[in-house]
Chain A
Amino acid sequence: MSHPSPDLLLSFAIGRADLPHRVMLEAHLAGCAACRAAVAETTVPAAALLRGLPQDRLPGALWDRLRQRIEDEGPRGAPEPPALAGLPLPAAARAELPPEVLRRPSLHWRWGFTRGARMAVMARDPATHSILLIAHMPPRRVVPRHLHLGPEDVAVLTGGYEDDRGHYEAGEYAAYEPGTSHEPVTEAGAPCWTLTRLEKPNRFFGWPGLLVRLLS
């Protein structure tokens, strides 16, 4: 089982993880008791601090404004936003997405990096210049070898893939350092859905890479 690093879990717990990391970590935490435990341990002193604080007086209008915002959200169980319909995104990860993403009529899918595969940018974090991608790949497909110009994190939502370093199943989390390269191959059986965080675009190689660049 491959997990986020302890440093990343610490950043998440103290509010220093950016938007793509938050979405991906919520997706991982939904299925990983060990990492939920790690986050729980990390926030013990924080909870103690918050519990020890005296209550500041709350302006009455604050609750009224909050209640209006909640009512504007619509009832629980409302149909999922069209852009996210059919995506295997855990509810906790979905809840991290900003409203502007949820309001989109659809995601802008790009095809062609491998046969039958598609990917779309879900969100961007302007502070860290990172992007969050969701990708769907049919079974037994090869993603052309590419170089990571910046860090790349991958959370596997369904299916799995194998690369030079190992095998990653649904629920696992992999992080690749800048300067590394790999050629993932999706496993047989179920389609592979992933969330990916990038700070810089990947560089693809060879004829398949040229095709990817042209289609991008």
Chain B
Amino acid sequence: MDSGFHTISPHAVRHSPAAGPFDVYSPYVRESMRLAQAPEAGGSDSAVLLHRIAGGDIEAFQAFYQLHAGRVLAYARQLGRRADLAEDVVQEVFVAVWRKAASFRADRGDPLGWLYTITRNKLVDLWRKAGETSGLDEVQWQQLPDGESSGSDRGDLLLTVHQALTRVPAEQRAAIEMAYFGGLTYEETAERLRLPVGTLKSRIRSGLRSLRAVLEGR
């Protein structure tokens, strides 16, 4: 084994998962899982629709599209520098929903969080193909409409994200606005905030914990 080369510990993270999967979820995520397991009458819950889509149910797919595609379109129009490509983003997002529905599980949390990840992936792919490093900065993000929770399928969301962010420490808020909600890369955000990239990521994760706590009313 003596190769003459210095070896460094791999960057793998070792930790013991909690005794059961439910022990590692916040109340908000647990509530999402409960909703997925006990759908409302009529089966219109997004998680249930995803389960049916996984089975090839085109009507469920259309219902999921009608429930959420308008929001994805609004988001893509605001984030993309080329509004004419927003419809292409929506199409790519929902093709991915069709392909990946079977991978959605109740313990992946809120279906809209899963949909957000897919949407961001497609937007970032688009920016990269177009040779853009990013699409949206923190100023544009603040112009996104932020509706009240009324009319949503979760009555327990009492604060809008914009309101909740005002209760997060300023340095964490800036990092989240630029790199989590906004379109700046880690490197661009770190440069603007004059931070090492590693510190920035740590700050985003701390900020998200604070933001979640505010959204969950803790």
Q: A1 contacts B16, CB within 8 Å? A: yes
Residues on A with C-beta less than 8 A from B6 are 179
* Size band of the interface chain B makes with A: 35 or more
Q: Bin chain A's interface residue count.
A: 35 or more
Chain A-chain B contacts (Cβ-Cβ < 8 Å), number: 265
Q: Does A80 contact B (CB under 8 A)?
A: no
- The verdict on A3 contacting B113 (CB below 8 Å), with A40-B32, A76-B55 known, is no
Bound CA–CA A92/B153 (angstroms): 27
Most chain-A CB neighbours within 10 Å: which of B73, B77, B176?
Answer: B73
Q: Inside 8 A of A13's CB, which chain B residues have their CB?
A: 113, 117
Interface segment among A53-61, A81-89, A131-139, A186-194: the answer is A53-61
A residues bordering B, Cβ < 8 Å? 1-7, 10-17, 22, 26, 29-30, 32-34, 36-59, 62-63, 65-67, 69-70, 73, 75-77, 91-92, 95-96, 126-127, 145, 147, 151, 164-165, 172-177, 179-183, 205
A-B residue pairs in contact (CB < 8 Å), sample of 30: A3-B15, A6-B205, A7-B205, A14-B179, A16-B120, A29-B108, A30-B103, A44-B26, A44-B28, A45-B164, A46-B112, A47-B111, A47-B115, A48-B161, A50-B119, A51-B112, A52-B147, A52-B160, A53-B145, A58-B70, A66-B91, A66-B95, A67-B62, A69-B91, A70-B58, A73-B98, A75-B56, A164-B7, A175-B11, A175-B12
> A14-B179, A37-B25, A42-B113 known; 7 other A-B pairs, CB under 8 Å?
A16-B120, A34-B15, A36-B107, A51-B71, A56-B71, A92-B103, A182-B7
